[in-house]
Structure 1
Amino acid sequence: MSDVQLQNIVDIIHKCHTWIDVGSSFHWKDTAVSWHGMVQTVCCRCLTLRACHSYNDYVRGQEWHIPLLDIDRSAKILMRKDAGFKKRLALNALTMTDVERLFMEVTYGIIELELFEGY
């Protein structure tokens, strides 16, 4: 995923967030990855999401560090399922729904962004 595509995702989340916002898109963190059947640790860039308000079981200030490797993997899965997503990603024209689907995929359904454009 290019920096422009990532910035587009960050902008959508920041502009339309309800309870969770982007803390940082330049955070580097060690991450475990499976490579040729072995688990190895690599340092990779992460997107940090931060809870702006307490919501459900999440407290205000809670952070999630999502590796860009996982975001790329999830984007590839969605591109295989939806040709429209692939086209919009290539054109940097993702919608709120696309970003929500991407983060539902990358977090295995744990984090639902609940973006809202009415602010």
Structure 2
Amino acid sequence: MAEPRPWIEGYVRAWDSNDPDDIAALFTEDAVYYTEPHSRPWQGRDEIVAQWLERQDKPGEATFEWHPVCVTESAGEGVGVVQGVTTYPDKTYSNLWIIRFAPDGRCREFTEWWMRHDAK
């Protein structure tokens, strides 16, 4: 499963709900989540859910627009590179995500790069 749309729709749903089950459904048991490149990742689904909830946004606080940059698949596993823009009422970020998919469509490794737009 290399098509990122269903996974990203689930991610946005979890982002808006902050429901632990919605978050957990996105990731394999042993997934790793890099909140920025070269940082210590959140390791395992339980830590991902706990850290997500510790840093959660308010439901509906942000909008996320995205498009795929590159999608590949090999031996049933896929990689999606996604470029997006996250807009909050008072700030905007450009995002680049690398999503490594397990054969069942859940994420086994997630890395995000984000850059805040300059205030105008």
Fold conserved between structures, TM > 0.5:
no
TM-score (norm 1): 0.29
| TM-score normalised by length of structure 2 | 0.29
Higher helix share: 1
User: Of Structure 1 and Structure 2, which has the larger fraction of its residues in strand?
Assistant: 2
